[in-house]
Amino acid sequence: MNELTAIINLVGTEAVRVILGVVGVLAFVVVNALVLTWLERKVAGHMQRRIGPKEVGPFGLLQPFADMIKLLGKEILTPANVDKPIYYLAPVLIFVPVLVSFIVIPFDGFLQAKDINVGILVILAFSSLSVFSILLAGWGSNNKYSLIGAVRSVAQNVAYEIPLMLALLPVVFMTNSLSLRDIVEAQKGLWFIGKWQFFAFLIYFIAGVAETNRTPFDLPEAESELVAGYHTEYSGMRFALFQFAEFSNIFIICAIATTFFLGGYNGPILPGIIWFFIKTYFLVFVIMWFRWTFPRVRFDQLLNFSWKVLIPVALLNLLVTGGLLKL
Amino acid sequence: MRYILDIIKGAISLLSGMGVTIKAFFSPVVTIQYPREVIDISPRFRGHTKLVGDEENPDRTKCIVCGMCERNCPSHSIQKVEGEKREGEKKKTLTSYILNFTTCSQCGICVESCPTDALAFSADYNPASFNRDDFHYDLLKEYEKRKNR
């Protein structure tokens, strides 16, 4: 009995909680990226009436593991004349904001690493950092395609971060809180997407797709013009880290959309965490659906769309919401 | 006003595009898993030629050893069309028919020129070998193998 209490006390201490949280988040990030690579190929296949992976394991479920082993076994090349510290740092640095963002996401009423009272600010601040590591990767690679990709990414992210935040602000107005858990708790009855925030959701989602560099806004890694964009010169596990970060960013964008507009873990009958994952992965599916439907936009169209359409509409939405709340 | 109309029109066209892909997503796949699944060969497919059996007497083919196919073949792929007159039979019976498939271009002149329709195209679509001699087909032996099956 004494041992049991000792273990409970040990788990209860802050240090152990931190370690458990880090291990849990790392495990989740890897599993999520593996599942999403599989899902992406399956969705791509079926949208083109193909089958997708099916040879490795049942329904091709072990395909990501085969890919993993392949990437681990590959030689990690360092091209000549790269800016070595920057080149080595970029794939590691792109992973940091991903890990930090998972701390504040409320998976369920009890499942949240830490409820910070400025939660959404933490996520937004750290997700802007990922642009920085994309720029480092492009700059350090000594490759014109990488550099063009990185420059495009910066321009795109600056343009789309504004509507992203403007779309989240009305929800913050309505709940008077920046803590993600408070925002979810405020949606116990009706989700915010139903409480006049449909346009905010739409703007947030579009800007989110652009933030994660997904089609139709995948100019930073446009494979038909820029080889692979900012990660052209990366191979093996360094390339895999960029992929992991991309898939985790998709998950984070969808998780925030779920938290802010779709009621987070609220839902009938099923436990909260299952509702959270259903909603989030449905949005992930929609992003993949976009990818296999829409062609890539031109660069001027991309910036025009943000500055001329998304930002004015988001500002108008913010004004109307603020006015209605004051009345 | 045009600004708003453009946005609405754009949104509708995007949605209809998504409709197309989601319909494709839920439609059955068209992939054939080739070595494990084989679809029926089209009836007009031209494989190598094969001999057609006589309906009344399946032991022999329709061939009367006239040599028309051999003479008409533009690339001289048909070799050694030989036969013999057996006792009690009016027509000659085929004893050997060699098709050199390495030079055959499946033009079909032999099939068209045959007076008794004794030649037809087979549906053998995947002949493969490391040895050139494997494509010197003995069509009579092939016919007998088919008949006994």
**Lowest mean pLDDT across A2-6, A270-274, A319-323:** A2-6
CB-closest option in B14, B21, B33 to A292: B21
Which chain A residues touch B30 with a CB distance below 8 Å? 49-50
First to last CA, chain A: 60
Which chain B residues touch A50 with a CB distance below 8 Å? 29-31
Residue A9 is predicted with a pLDDT of: 67
CB-closest option in A49, A293, A309 to B30: A49
The verdict on A289 touching B (C-beta cutoff 8 Å) is yes
Mean pLDDT to the nearest integer, A121-144: 85
- Interchain contact, A289 vs B18, CB within 8 Å: yes
The pTM score is 0.79
Minimal CA separation from B11 to chain A, in Å: 11
Residue with tokens 């690493």: A113
Which chain B residues touch A45 with a CB distance below 8 Å? 29
Residue A285 is predicted with a pLDDT of: 92
Pairing of the two strands B49-51 and B92-100: unpaired
Mean pLDDT to the nearest integer, A126-149: 85
Size of interface A-B (CB pairs under 8 A): 35
CA atoms of A201 and A210, how far apart (whole Å) = 14
Residue B130 is predicted with a pLDDT of: 92
Mean pLDDT to the nearest integer, B96-119: 88
Given a cut of 70, is residue A10 above it in pLDDT? no
Given a cut of 80, is residue B106 above it in pLDDT? yes
The verdict on A113 touching B (C-beta cutoff 8 Å) is no
CA atoms of A159 and A211, how far apart (whole Å) = 9
Q: How confident is the model at residue B118 (pLDDT cuts 50, 70, 90)?
A: confident
CA atoms of A178 and A176, how far apart (whole Å) = 7
Minimal CA separation from B74 to chain A, in Å: 43
Residue A286 is predicted with a pLDDT of: 92
Proportion of chain A above pLDDT 90, given as a percent: 3
CA atoms of A98 and A174, how far apart (whole Å) = 27
CB-closest option in B18, B27, B33 to A293: B18
Which chain B residues touch A46 with a CB distance below 8 Å? 24-25, 29
Minimal CA separation from B101 to chain A, in Å: 36
Mean pLDDT for all residues in chain B: 85
Tokens of A126: 């750290």
- Interchain contact, A43 vs B31, CB within 8 Å: no
Q: How confident is the model at residue B16 (pLDDT cuts 50, 70, 90)?
A: very high
Given a cut of 70, is residue A12 above it in pLDDT? no
Task: Give residue A296's identity as a one-letter amino acid code.
Answer: R
Mean pLDDT to the nearest integer, B5-17: 89
Q: In what order do the strands lie in the sheet with B92-100?
A: B78-85, B92-100, B136-138
- Interchain contact, A43 vs B28, CB within 8 Å: no
CB-closest option in B14, B24, B31 to A47: B24
Instruction: Please enumerate residues of B whose Cβ is less than 8 A from a Cβ of A.
Output: 7, 14, 17-18, 20-22, 24-25, 27-31, 33
How do residues A251-292 score in pLDDT, each as one tens digit? 999 988 988 888 878 778 878 788 888 889 999 999 999 988
CA atoms of A215 and A208, how far apart (whole Å) = 11
Given a cut of 80, is residue A196 above it in pLDDT? no
**Lowest mean pLDDT across A3-7, A173-177, A304-308, B4-8:** A3-7
Given a cut of 80, is residue B80 above it in pLDDT? no
Residue A8 is predicted with a pLDDT of: 65
Which chain B residues touch A43 with a CB distance below 8 Å? 25
CA atoms of A26 and A93, how far apart (whole Å) = 15
